[in-house]
């Protein structure tokens, strides 16, 4: 089969890879209908995360089950499935508390490389959710979003305690931040302030439900938020970048007693203890437990209650994955969808 492999920063190639097979009785093999490039993939592409050897890429996926191990009972060949970017058993004490991304048996799907034609999914019973019927092809991008960015935005909103009538700030205008805007809108936020400097992303943020745009960053951005919130700051802040600047901006944009949900993959982030102490904010986040939300998100998508597919603004064949990476790295695309 063909699949994307990164060799070095800026060097992504689509080449022949071994066809996945059932290795454990809890595995499933699926034929991918769509996959995509994640903002977190750019950490390797930009050389921020080291690339020490040729490495298969991709962790977002939807497709049709081809084969299952003898212990798999919840999905069967022929079903269309959506899976989390982290494989989990969905039965351990951590999973039962709603944190499947930290399952005691957790396995990152990215290790198997989902930017490909086929994918082996470990712990299939706890990771994959089948749709009631095979969806129309037009629904595939929206369902693909649920595999990571939509589920991550959903978790960010819940971690930030978004609720009806609240003011929400979203730090980050990438795909996850935009999905955080959509989630906040669905959860009933009264005011949603998207922090974005890019016109196309501002437009999409408004389409997803943003009521205000703040283009400034750092202390200037915080000051703008304070001016929009009677000097208090937001009830809820979703941090969707993962840098020191974005985390500081998120904490400082929150009001005393507010909630910050951080879902950007942290790189070099340090929390100043004294500032955090006197901010009196709640901090909650980490790798999103997407599996917790998949049944709800699938129902919302298939019922036309939410439409996250607009986050994909570039669609390419898998063979052109390298161009998809370049487009996102150069900010010519928010998120690239790949069709195997």
Beta strands 28-36 and 336-339, pairing class: antiparallel
Q: Please check whether residue 72 is in contact with residue 28, taking contact to mean a CB–CB distance below 8 angstroms.
A: yes
Give me the DSSP letters along 89-137: -S-SHHHHTT-GGG-TT-EEGGGG-SSBSEEEESSHHHHEEE-SSPPPG
Q: What is the mean pLDDT of residues 70-96?
A: 98
User: Residue 4: its pLDDT value, please?
Assistant: 98
Q: pLDDT category, 253, cuts 50, 70, 90? A: very high
Which whole number is the average pLDDT over 3-16? 98
* Residues 149, 177: Cα–Cα separation, whole Å: 9
pLDDT at 310: 97
Residue position matching structure tokens 């006197």: 278
| Averaged pLDDT, 321-328 | 98
Output the average pLDDT for the chain. Answer: 97
Nearest one of 254, 275, 269 to 193, comparing CA atoms: 254
| Residue 5 pLDDT class (50, 70, 90 cuts) | very high
> What tokens does 162 get?
């978004």
pLDDT band at 307 (very low <50, low <70, confident <90, very high): very high
Measured distance CA(192)–CA(3) in Å, rounded: 39
| Percent of the chain whose predicted confidence (pLDDT) is above 90 | 98
Confidence of residue 326 (pLDDT cuts 50, 70, 90): very high
Kindly indicate the confidence band of residue 112, based on its pLDDT and cuts at 50, 70 and 90.
very high
Could you tell me the pLDDT band of residue 263, with boundaries at 50, 70 and 90? Answer: very high
In the predicted model, what is the mean pLDDT of residues 48-57?
Answer: 95
Token pair belonging to 340:
């195997």
What pLDDT, on a 0 to 100 scale, did the predictor assign at position 224? 97
Give per-residue pLDDT as tens, 284-295: 999 999 999 999
Q: Which residues contact 287 (CB under 8 A, 6 or more apart)?
A: 86, 101, 102
Residue with tokens 């929150």: 254
Residue 165: the pLDDT is 96
Query: What is the reported pLDDT for 43?
Result: 93
Q: What average pLDDT does range 16-36 have in this prediction? A: 98
pLDDT digits (tens, 9 = 90+) for 28-41: 999 999 999 999 99
Mean pLDDT, range 152-169, rounded to an integer: 98
| pLDDT, position 140 | 98
Q: What is the pLDDT of residues 172-185, one digit of tens each?
A: 999 999 999 999 99
Task: Classify residue 243 by burial, with Cβ atoms within 10 Å: 0-12, 13-18, 19+.
Answer: middle
- Contact in structure between 142 and 301 (CB atoms under 8 Å): yes
Retrieve residue 102's tokens.
């930290």
Q: Could you please report the per-residue DSSP string of 58-100?
A: ---EEEEEEEE-TT--S--TT-EEEE-SEE--S-SHHHHTT-G
How would residue 202 be classed by pLDDT, with cut points 50, 70 and 90? very high
Mean pLDDT of 221-241: 97
Q: Which of 233, 230, 238, 249 is nearest to 209 (CA)?
A: 238
User: Are residues 155 and 293 in contact, defined by beta-carbon separation less than 8 angstroms?
Assistant: yes
State the Cα–Cα distance between residues 191 and 204, nearest whole angstrom: 16
């Amino acid at each position: 089969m063909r699949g994307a492999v990164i060799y070095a920063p800026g060097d992504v190639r689509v080449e022949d890879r071994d066809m996945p097979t059932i290795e454990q009785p809890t595995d499933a093999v699926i034929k991918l209908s769509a996959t995509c490039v994640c903002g977190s993939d750019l950490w390797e592409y930009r050389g921020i995360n080291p690339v020490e050897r040729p490495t298969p890429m991709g962790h977002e996926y939807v497709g049709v089950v081809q084969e299952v191990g003898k212990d798999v009972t919840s999905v069967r060949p022929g079903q269309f499935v959506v899976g989390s970017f982290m494989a989990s058993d969905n039965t351990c004490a951590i999973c039962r508390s709603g944190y499947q991304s930290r399952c005691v048996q957790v396995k990152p799907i990215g290790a198997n490389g989902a930017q490909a034609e086929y994918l082996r999914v470990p712990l299939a019973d706890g990771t994959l959710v089948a749709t009631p019927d095979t969806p129309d092809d037009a629904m595939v991008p929206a369902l693909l979003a649920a595999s990571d960015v939509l589920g991550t935005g959903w978790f960010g909103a819940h971690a930030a305690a978004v609720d009806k009538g609240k003011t929400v700030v979203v730090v980050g205008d990438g795909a996850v931040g935009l999905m955080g805007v959509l989630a906040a809108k669905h959860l009933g936020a009264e005011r949603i302030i998207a922090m974005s400097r890019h016109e196309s992303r501002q437009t999409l943020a408004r389409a997803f439900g943003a009521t205000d745009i703040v283009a400034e960053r750092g202390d200037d951005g915080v000051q703008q938020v304070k001016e929009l919130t009677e000097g208090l700051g937001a009830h809820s802040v979703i941090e969707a970048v993962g840098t020191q600047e974005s985390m500081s901006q998120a904490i400082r944009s929150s009001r005393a007693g507010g909630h910050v949900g951080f879902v950007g993959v942290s790189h070099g982030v340090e929390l100043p203890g004294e500032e955090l102490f006197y901010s009196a904010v709640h901090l909650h986040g980490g790798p999103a437990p997407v599996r917790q939300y998949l049944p709800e998100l699938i129902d919302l998508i298939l019922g036309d209650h939410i439409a996250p597919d607009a986050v994909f603004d570039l669609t390419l064949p898998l063979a052109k994955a390298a161009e998809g990476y370049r487009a996102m790295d150069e900010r010519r695309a928010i998120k690239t969808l790949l069709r195997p």
